[in-house]
């Protein structure tokens, strides 16, 4: 039978110990960066809701490696094309509202990512009014002390119960027709 372990005592550096300045405030620094990434992410949705292309532009890296996938769109590559895609979307939208849920933010070095689910209500300038649920991943890179978007990928999200109902309808077999599961031949 082993001896119970003594509770660990708090570790405190001795007065003569050298503390790595990069690690000394790691917890505080990480919390600060998580907050800054979260603020940039919220700024993205504020720019979208206010249909402010210039504010949206300030949030993105203006580089050829940025990428964007809007729901139902092909991959858009490079800042000029990404900006043009936002310009087209913001022009066609009369009003948009977001409710963001399950927001998860991570930071690792100069890279950060945000995953979330967004419930969207959109009114187009053509008078269409619809709602959608999208799952989104945003990747940001720290450039010149600022967090900039390098990828926005948003895809339509379907509820599993809706998918199950659709699959049940597709699996509706005739019970006595040729080739059916009820046909013994």
Of residues 161 and 8, the one with the higher pLDDT is 161
For position 27, what pLDDT does the model report?
65
Residue ranges making up the domain that contains 53: 25-170
User: Is residue 133, in this structure, part of any structural domain at all?
Assistant: yes
For position 159, what pLDDT does the model report?
66
User: Is residue 15, in this structure, part of any structural domain at all?
Assistant: no
User: Is residue 41, in this structure, part of any structural domain at all?
Assistant: yes
User: Is residue 78, in this structure, part of any structural domain at all?
Assistant: yes
Number of domains in the chain: 1
User: Is residue 99, in this structure, part of any structural domain at all?
Assistant: yes
For position 18, what pLDDT does the model report?
39
User: Is residue 44, in this structure, part of any structural domain at all?
Assistant: yes
136-169: per-residue pLDDT in tens? 999 999 999 999 999 999 999 876 655 555 555 5
For position 5, what pLDDT does the model report?
32
83-110: per-residue pLDDT in tens? 999 999 999 999 999 999 999 999 999 9
DSSP 8-class letter at 91: H
pLDDT more than 70, % of the chain = 71
Cβ contacts of 130-137, under 8 Å, gap ≥ 24: 132/71, 132/156, 133/157, 133/158, 133/159, 134/71, 137/113
User: Is residue 1, in this structure, part of any structural domain at all?
Assistant: no
For position 20, what pLDDT does the model report?
39
CA proximity to 117, closest of 137, 140, 131: 137
For position 46, what pLDDT does the model report?
98
User: Is residue 68, in this structure, part of any structural domain at all?
Assistant: yes
pLDDT at 112 over 90: yes
19-62: per-residue pLDDT in tens? 334 444 556 789 999 999 999 999 999 999 999 999 999 999 99
Q: At 78, which CATH number? A: 3.10.450.50
Mean pLDDT over the full length of the chain: 81
For position 14, what pLDDT does the model report?
29
For position 158, what pLDDT does the model report?
78
């Amino acid at each position: 039978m082993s001896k119970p372990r003594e509770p660990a005592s708090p570790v405190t550096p001795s007065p003569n110990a050298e503390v790595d300045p990069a690690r000394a405030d790691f917890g505080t620094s990480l919390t600060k960066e998580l907050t800054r990434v979260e603020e940039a992410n919220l700024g993205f949705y504020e720019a979208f809701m206010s249909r402010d292309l210039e504010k949206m532009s300030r949030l993105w890296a203006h580089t050829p490696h940025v990428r964007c996938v809007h729901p139902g769109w092909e991959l858009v590559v490079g800042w000029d094309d990404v900006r043009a895609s936002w310009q087209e979307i913001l022009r066609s939208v009369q009003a948009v509202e977001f409710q963001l849920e399950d927001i998860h933010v991570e930071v690792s070095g100069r890279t950060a990512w945000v995953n979330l689910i967004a419930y969207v209500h959109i009114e187009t300038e053509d008078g269409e009014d619809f709602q959608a649920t999208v799952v989104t991943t945003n990747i940001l890179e720290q450039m010149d002390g600022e967090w900039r978007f390098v990828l926005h990928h948003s895809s339509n999200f379907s509820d599993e119960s809706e998918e199950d109902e659709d699959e049940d309808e597709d699996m509706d077999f005739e019970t006595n027709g040729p080739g059916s599961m009820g046909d013994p031949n």
